[in-house]
Amino acid sequence: MALVTGGYGHLGTAISEGLAEAGAKVYVLGRSKEKFTEAFQNQADEAIQFQECDIADTQSIKNAFAAVEQKEGKLDVLVNNAFYSKGQNPEALTDEEWAFGIDGNLNSVYRCIREAVPYFKSSGGSIINVSSMYGMVSPDFSIYDESPAFLNPPHYGAAKAGVLQLTKYFACYLGKNNIRVNAVTPGPFPSQTVQQNEVFIEQLKRKNPLGRIGKPEDLKGAFVYLASDASAFMTGQNMVIDGGWTAW
């Protein structure tokens, strides 16, 4: 039984579907039942269900975890995929934009881990945090010369780097409870909206050793592996699914 925050988004939908295809009961945690229904309108069974949750609000997280545990009896897997942010100009982020981005990409992950631990302590479990290639390397700013609107902001990368450290910290802290904590780091997986900018997409393709952008389904295997007993002796690690982007 797996919980996926933001499990109806661009990458979240594929993550949720991959886990369900592997036999998991999946609860998608999010704020919008409408977006969930739209994302999974072709879902024929009840393997993927919706649970209202706002990762910005501790009480909402508590309520969501308690509701799922009451239905299923336990929690086995938590995927921290959801995020929120605002502000983009590296030279002009306000203090409020900076704090909001850090909260939405890092603090929210901590809140979810903290609230999940009591449920996992009795029988173990797997926590999978979603980072980013920009939590590992700086953007190649030349790629954005012709598409400045897509420039990745500094608070996003700083927070995603923090997610990797948080992963290591809790892997060591929770190992005694048989709770594994790992991260998945996606590379260039632009949304459908961004993909409409052909010039920018060609820049991404040229930068990447595999010569293409990521497709959401490219992520399925990593999450299934980390959620399952196939990775039973793996914790504190970061699986980088980026087509070779960070290998340069």
- Catalytic annotation, residues: 156
CB-based burial label for 38 (10 Å; 0-12, 13-18, 19+):
exposed
Domain span at residue 216 reads: 2-247
| Burial 129-149, CB ≥16 within 10 A → b, else e | bbbbbbbbbebeeebeeeeee
Instruction: Count Cα neighbours of 98 within 13 Å in the Cβ-side half-sphere.
Output: 8
List pLDDT tens digits, range 189-234: 999 999 999 999 999 999 999 999 999 999 999 999 999 999 999 9
List pLDDT tens digits, range 32-71: 999 999 999 866 568 999 999 999 999 999 999 999 999 9
List pLDDT tens digits, range 80-115: 999 999 999 999 999 999 999 999 999 999 999 999
Q: CA–CA distance from 150 to each of 46, 98, 187, 203, 211 (Å)?
A: 37, 17, 15, 12, 19
Confidence check: pLDDT of 155 > 60: yes
The CATH number of the domain holding residue 173 is 3.40.50.720
Q: How many domains does the chain have?
A: 1
Q: What sections of 73-217 are H helices per DSSP?
A: 95-102, 108-120, 154-174, 198-207
Instruction: Count Cα neighbours of 153 within 13 Å in the Cβ-side half-sphere.
Output: 22
Distance CA 197, CA 180 (A): 39
